[in-house]
Each structure stands twice: as structure tokens, then as C-alpha cells.
Amino acid sequence: MSLVERDMQQVKDLTLLQRFADVLEVGLAELIALPQPAADRPRSRPRKPTSATLTSTSAAEEDDVRRRPFMALAAAALFAPAVGEPAAHAEATTSLGGLEDLLLYGTDRVPSPRREPTSATVAASLVASRREFKAARYDILAEALPGRIAAAQLLGTSEERGRNVAQLYNVAVRLCIKAGDNNLVAITADRALTSARAGGDPLVVAEAQRMVSSAWRRQGSLARATDIVVVAAEELLADTSVPEASRLATRGALYATAAYTAAKSGDRSYAHALIREAVDSAAASGRISGLVEGAQGVALHELSVHYELGDAGRAIELARTIDPTSLPTAERQARFFIDVARAFDQWGKPEQCFKALMAAEEAAPQEVRRGAVRDLASGLLRHDRKLPGVRDFAARAGVQII
């Protein structure tokens, strides 16, 4: 407390923030609204500002302004019982027609690029595709992916083509999962794995196997889906051609996927054993690389495991240890809050469920068009008198309201 009062330490953990609020007997929203500590600002002697420093300062202030209402929603979702009006967001639809045409009819149905593709533009398209997915800009990604895949199929050696196409199809699988199109999930996953094997990169192959596992899971073949990623994890761990940190991080992601699938099948002991393996692998990778992103991804899967096993209380306990603003992408933030909403719904707490859904929409508006959110919103409609704004939210989520 002394360090915080002297402006030497920042508080980003919601659980710790709630404890401070309890001790000080003030509202959580009041603490969140306070200025950010000076620990984030340079303490060296100020120099004459340049255009670059002014731009940097402006961007930091803008990010801080954006972060505060999101933190307020985050805290409300996890701690506060009351419900306020949700923010309005413009709808955006994700059409997978172009991707479907590419898969079924080949590149003849793909519009010709404005410029002749090069190796540099293909590499840039990989970066752009990942960036758009992480930002939850699914409409832009869906429109651009067919052309990017078609261009990647034309350039480089057979191995380079395989790697590039596989990575784009891996993104395509995840996009199709967001859209809830299981047929396209299966086809794009198969294309991803076939291309990845031709490319010969073990990490790309492992990610494609994870996508194939998701396809099998969504078709109801849970035992096979679990086995696919467990075998892939052990094969990757034995491949010493891959740096150890990368092997461990990817192994953690594979085991986390396996744990989620085992939980969906109701195999409690196996799910817990797998998620422990995932946590250990991610932690070991982080110790080597110094990165925490893998551990964050595993934590989100662990939250889902508790929910799938019916342990809503444990899921919320875990959620309260996670600072959503520390999650690196809008997609992850929204996924976190959707899982929180599902846990609160399972726990019979509609007000907190709705708060979590609004926080998800704040982080990534296009996420609310997912089937899981529509199902939750449909269930919340029976509480519409106690939840102001829930009918408008359900409409934005795509629920047909009579």
C-alpha cells in the first residue's frame, strides 16, 4: 500500500484492486477512475519534446483513456452486481463466401490482385492475417483471405508454398470456427495439414494438427480429437530441430486443446492431468524465452476446462486472477469474457453474465455474433426486466426477437 501511495507501483491485478477497495471502504469504480501511477512515466530529466515524443505521448494517453472504461467493465463483470446500459456498436457481418468458392472451385473464382504478388507481399499477408484475427476484424479478414491464399500458392519453392499456404489456412480454420461453419472448419483444417506437411516446418505442422483436432471435436469425435493433439505434442517435444522454448510453448497449446476436449467429453481426471501438463510446458517455455503469452493462452483454456466440467465457481476464481487488459489481443480479451459469461450463466448469475458479455463486446464487437453469445443472450431475455439493454444486445448478437 505504501508503494502505491508513493506512486512507485502500479496496480493492474483486479483481485488486488478489489482488496484495496475493500480495505479502504471505497467503490471499485472510484479506484479505477484514478489517474495511472507515475511509475509508467519516465523519471529522468525531461528533454525538449520532438514530434516523435509528442506522438508517442499522445498515443499513450489515448490508450490510457481507452483502457479505463474497459477496466471498469472488466471489474463490473467480475465483482459488481449492478447492471448499466451497454455501449452501442455497429454491426459487421462476416461472409465466408469467397473462402468457400476458393475451396470448392479453385482460384478461378478469386478476383485478380491489383498488383503482381511477390515474396514480400505474401510475407506481409501472413502478418496482416494474424493481426486482423487478433484484432477480431473478421469481416476484413474473410474478404482478404481467399486472395492471399491464392497468391501464396503461386510463389516460392514447394516447401515455401506449403508453409505459407498452411499458415494462412490455419488462420482460416480459426476464422471458420468463429463463424460457426463446421463444414468449412473441416475442409480448411485438412488443407492446412496437407500444406504444412509439404512445407516441412514442425511448428506449422503442429498448429495444423491442432486445427484438425478442433475440426474432429466440432464433429463430435472427442476421443479422436484428444488423441490427435496428444500425439502431436509428444512428437514435437522429441523433435530437437525446433528450439526448446518454441517446442514447449506449442506443446502447452496442444495439451491445453486436448484438456478442453477431454473436459467436453466429461473425463474429469484426464482433463485435469492434461491442463497441468499444459501449464507446466507453458511455464517452462516462459522461463526460457521470458514471454508470457503462452501461459496466458493456457490460462484461458484452463478457464474453459473448469466451465466444461461444470465447475463454474472454480472458473470464476481463476478469472479473478487474470487481468484482461494484460491479454495481448482483442480476440483473447473477448474470448476471456465470453467464457466468464458462460461460467456466470452456469452459476445462475444473469447480471454478472450480462456484464461479462458487454465487456466482451467492448473488447471486440464482432465477437458477439458468435453462436455461444447468441445462446447466452437468448437465455438472458427472460430477465429483460432486470437487465436494461439486454434486448438490444441480443439483437446485435443476431437473436431473432419476436
Which pLDDT tens digit goes with each residue over 372-388? Answer: 999 999 999 999 888 99
Give the 3-state secondary structure of residue 128.
helix
Residue type, 287: R
46 found inside a domain: no
Tally of domains within the chain: 3
Mean pLDDT rounded to a whole number for the chain = 84
Are 121 and 160 members of one domain? yes
Give the 3-state secondary structure of residue 368.
helix
Are 254 and 347 members of one domain? no
Residue type, 110: V
Are 346 and 391 members of one domain? yes
Question: What does the pLDDT look like over 97-151, one tens digit per residue?
Answer: 999 999 999 888 788 777 888 999 999 999 999 999 999 999 999 999 999 999 9
236 found inside a domain: yes
Give the confidence band of 402 by pLDDT, cuts at 50, 70, 90: confident
52 found inside a domain: no
Domain C-terminal end among 259, 278, 309: 309
54 found inside a domain: no
Query: Does residue 57 or residue 256 have the better pLDDT?
Result: 256
Tell me the average pLDDT across 200-207: 96
pLDDT at 43 over 50: no
Tell me the average pLDDT across 317-333: 90
Tell me the average pLDDT across 224-246: 94
Domain C-terminal end among 194, 219, 244: 219
329 found inside a domain: yes
Are 18 and 86 members of one domain? yes
Are 282 and 252 members of one domain? yes
Residue 9 pLDDT: 61
pLDDT at 301 over 60: yes
Question: What does the pLDDT look like over 183-199, one tens digit per residue?
Answer: 999 999 999 999 999 99
Angle at 334 between CA 328 and CA 335, to 5 degrees: 95
348: left (phi over 0), alpha (psi -120 to 50) or beta: left
Q: Report the range of poorest mean pLDDT among 112-121, 161-170, 216-225.
A: 112-121
Question: What does the pLDDT look like over 133-144, one tens digit per residue?
Answer: 999 999 999 999
317 found inside a domain: no
Dist. CA 154–CA 41, nearest whole Å: 48
Give yes or no for a contact between 139 and 93, defined as CB atoms under 8 angstroms apart: yes
Q: Closest Cα to residue 142, out of 171, 120, 166?
A: 171
157 found inside a domain: yes
Give the confidence band of 334 by pLDDT, cuts at 50, 70, 90: very high
**Domain ranges, residue 243:** 220-309
Are 77 and 102 members of one domain? no
Q: What distance, in Å, lies between the first and last C-alpha atoms of the chain? A: 53
The dihedral over CA atoms of 281, 282, 288, 289, expressed in degrees to the nearest 10, equals: 150
Dist. CA 290–CA 335, nearest whole Å: 24
Are 87 and 105 members of one domain? no
59 found inside a domain: no
Are 175 and 209 members of one domain? yes
Dist. CA 371–CA 325, nearest whole Å: 24
Are 237 and 296 members of one domain? yes
Tell me the average pLDDT across 42-64: 43
Are 162 and 253 members of one domain? no
Are 278 and 234 members of one domain? yes
Give the confidence band of 362 by pLDDT, cuts at 50, 70, 90: very high
Domain C-terminal end among 250, 281, 309: 309
Are 152 and 236 members of one domain? no
Question: What does the pLDDT look like over 258-278, one tens digit per residue?
Answer: 999 999 999 999 999 999 999
